[in-house]
Amino acid sequence: MNFVEPIRDKEKLEALKGLLKKQSARNGFLLTFGINTGLRISDILPLKVADVKNKTHLVITEKKTGKPKRFKINQTLREAIQSYITGLDDDDFLFASEKRPKPITRVRAYQILNGSARKIGLSEIGTHSLRKSFGYHFYQRTRDIATLQLIFNHSHPAITLKYIGITQDLIDQAVDDFSL
């Protein structure tokens, strides 16, 4: 499994949103959904319209941990959901495959995200970059590592900082500022 990074640059993030939206509404919505929830791709892909329609919170059982999770859907995402699901049935998958009556696979989600990211000069991007980007920008805006740690269900703040790339940013900055 490759190590992936968050998308730190907001301009690159917007460029990626635009590129994915041009490809399809589904691809653009995948990015929007992932970066606004911080959920793992394994918890995002099986979602159906009924799971998010007219909801203020997303309630799931995390696939990796088996633990229940209740997550507030922010206003930006609620508006995106409303726009995206217009014309869809409650039983439709949010991220439906065009080839079969199931959601896209993790591999396909990776191909969509990584391929588009490369086109705009981003590397080390994968499906987990969505979750990491949520965490990175949440931390940059709030500096609230304790809440982010709870959102991600991490056991220690240091794990969360490393996970979202802040530890690497600090190391890189320290090396940049150091010379003999």
Q: Let me know if 106 is a catalytic residue.
A: no
Is 40 part of the annotated catalytic residue set?
yes
Q: Which residue has the tokens 């998958």?
A: 93
| Chain CA centroid to CA 106, Å | 13
Tell me which DSSP letter residue 94 carries: T
pLDDT in tens, the chain (180 residues): 578 999 999 999 999 999 999 999 999 999 999 999 999 999 999 999 999 999 999 999 999 999 999 999 999 999 999 999 999 999 999 999 999 999 999 999 999 999 999 999 999 999 999 999 999 999 999 999 999 999 999 999 999 999 999 988 888 888 988 888
Determine whether 131 is an active site residue: yes
What are all long-range contacts of 58-62, with beta carbons under 8 Å and residues at least 24 apart? Answer: 62/153
Q: Which CATH number is 10-176's, of 1.10.443.10, 3.40.50.360, 2.120.10.60, 1.10.1740.10?
A: 1.10.443.10
pLDDT of residue 174: 85
- Identify the active-site residue in 26, 48, 128, 137: 128
Identify the active-site residue in 64, 100, 141, 143.
Answer: 64
Among the listed residues 26, 48, 131, 137, the single catalytic one is 131
Which of these is catalytic: 26, 48, 137, 154? 154
Token pair for 79: 């508006």
Q: What is the structure's pLDDT at 26?
A: 98
Residue ranges in the chain assigned as alpha helix (H): 10-23, 25-37, 41-44, 49-52, 75-85, 106-119, 128-142, 145-152, 157-163, 166-176
For 102, list phi and psi in degrees, rounded to 5.
Answer: -145, 170
Question: From CA 35, how far away is CA 29, in angstroms rounded?
Answer: 10
57 is catalytic: no
